[in-house]
Amino acid sequence: MTTLLAFLFVLGVLIFVHELGHFLAARRLGVRVLTFSLGFGPKLLKVKRGDTEYCISAVPLGGYVKMAGENPDDPRTGKPDEFMSRTKWERFQILIMGPAMNVLLAVVVMAVVLAQGAEVPIYQDQPPVVGAVQPGSPAERAGIVRGDRILTIDDDAVDTWEDLFIAVGTRPSRDVQLTLLRDGQTQAMTVRTVAETRYEVGNIGVLPDINPIVASVIAGQAAERAGLRAGDVVLAVDGERMVTRSQFIDAISRNGGREIELTIRRGGSGEGDGDLMRIRATPEQQGNRGMLGLYVSEPTKSFTPGPFEAVQLSVERNIEFSGLIFRTLGGLFVGETSPRQLMGPVAIAQLSGESAQAGWISLFTLMASISLNLGLLNLLPIPVLDGGHILIMALEGIARRDFSIAVKEKMLLAGFVLLMMLMVTVIYNDLTRISWIERLMPWRN
C-alpha cells in the first residue's frame, strides 16, 4: 500500500505540474481550454468551470490539456481563442511550458531537499585515488593497484569519485579506455566493466581510501563483550582490508559462530591518528547470518547550505543531471549504454515505495529526479511529445508553409509507434527486475 500511495503521489504531482504549465500558458495567451485531465481513459470525477472541464481519469499514467482547435481533425472556426489560430511563437510558448514547469519543479524540490542539510560521503568530491581494489574485480585483473590516481575514462576527465562512478556506471559490460597516474607516470589500459544491480550499473571494482566506523554497540551483545566501542575505525577482518560498510557487514554475516580478528584504530584527532588494536570477537549465528550487535557507518561530512546557496546548488546539480541524462540517451543510440538502465512505471513505483519508507527527503529527491527526466524527455523531437510538436512547427517555419493534415497524421503515427516501442522496452525491463516474473521467462534462465 505504501508503494502504491507513494507512486500515485509522485506521479500525480509531476503530471499536474506538467499540465498546469500548458494550461496557464494557454490561458495567458487567450486560448480556450476545453479539458484539464489527470490521467487518461474514462473520466472518474469531473467538474466544469467556465469553458473548461476539470477531471480525474481512470489510467493514472499521464494527463492532458485539450485546447480548442488543437488537433488536425478538430473543427475550426478561425476564432482567436483556438490553438491553431495563434502564431507559431505563441504555440511554442504553450508547448514548452509543460516541460519547463517540470524542470522548474526539479530545481525547487531539490533546493528544498538540500536546504534540510545532509550527511554526504567524505570522499565524494575528492580526487579518485584508489584506496582498495576488490578481489577478482576487473580492476584487479587489469593491474590497477592502491594509490593509482584515475585521470580519464574514455577520454572523459574524472576529477572526483562522483565523476568516476558516473562515468563507469553509465558504461556497463563494455571495454573502457582508462588513464591513470602511478608513481608520476601516466599509464593507459583497457578495463572491461561489469553490470551490477537490477539496473545494470557499470563497475570496475575500485574503492576510495576509507574504512567503516562503529557507530554504536548494543549492550550485552558480542561486540560489547569483545571490547568494541563507538568510534572505532575498522581497518581489517582476519587480515582482509575493510573499505565499505556493506563489506564489513558481509564479513560478519558469513562468520557466524566463528571467531574473527578485527584490526581497528581507536582514538586520535585526525586521519591515521590513534592506537592500532586487534580485537577477537565471535559473531552470534542468528538465522542464516552472523551478528556482532553493532551499528556501522561510513565517514561522512555535514552539508547544510543556506536558502540562496541551496537554490544555486540545486541549479548546478540539475545541470549536471541533465548532462548525464543526455549522455545516457546518446549512449543508447550508439550502443554504449544498456537499455536495461531505462525504467518504466513499475520500476518507478518500486523506487517510490522504497524512498517513501526511507523518509520524505528520499521521496522528494526521487521526485526531483523524475521531474527533470520527464521535462527533458518531453522535449525530444518525437512526434506526439511536446518536442515533436515543436519540431513540426520548426519544419513548417523552415518550409514557410503548413504541412497538410495527412502529413501531420503520418508524422504523429510514426512518433506514436516509436513511443510504444520505448514503452514496451521499459516495461519489459521493469518486469525482468521482479524475480518471480523473471523465473517465468525461460529465455532469461
Provide the 8-state DSSP code for 278: E
DSSP string, 82-145: SGGGS-HHHHHHHHHHHHHHHHHHHHHHHHHHHHT-EEEETTTTS--B--EE-TTSHHHHHT--
Reading phi first (left if > 0) and then psi (alpha if -120 to 50, else beta), residue 136 is in: left
C-alpha triplet 275, 278, 284: angle, nearest 5°: 130
Q: Does an H or E element contain 294, and which? A: strand 294-297
Residue 124, φ and ψ in degrees, nearest 5: -55, -45
From the number of C-beta atoms within 10 Å of its C-beta (0-12, 13-18, 19+), residue 71 rates as middle
Assess whether 19 carries a catalytic annotation: yes
- Cα 115 → chain centroid: 20
Rg of the chain, C-alpha, whole Å: 27
Please say whether the beta carbons of 259 and 281 come within 8 A.
yes
3-class state of residue 377 by DSSP: helix
d(CA 377, CA 336) in angstroms, rounded, equals 19
| Candidate list 19, 82, 200, 298, residue with the active-site label | 19
> How many other CB atoms sit within 10 Å of the CB of residue 136?
9
Q: Does an H or E element contain 9, and which? A: helix 2-28
C-alpha cell at 51: 469553458
DSSP string, 297-314: E--EEEE---HHHHHHHH
Helices (H) and strands (E) in the chain, counts: 12, 20
Please say whether the beta carbons of 322 and 376 come within 8 A.
yes
d(CA 437, CA 86) in angstroms, rounded, equals 50
Nearest to 203, CA basis, from 180, 170, 227: 170
Nearest to 360, CA basis, from 1, 10, 4: 10
For the annotated catalytic residues, the residue numbers are 19
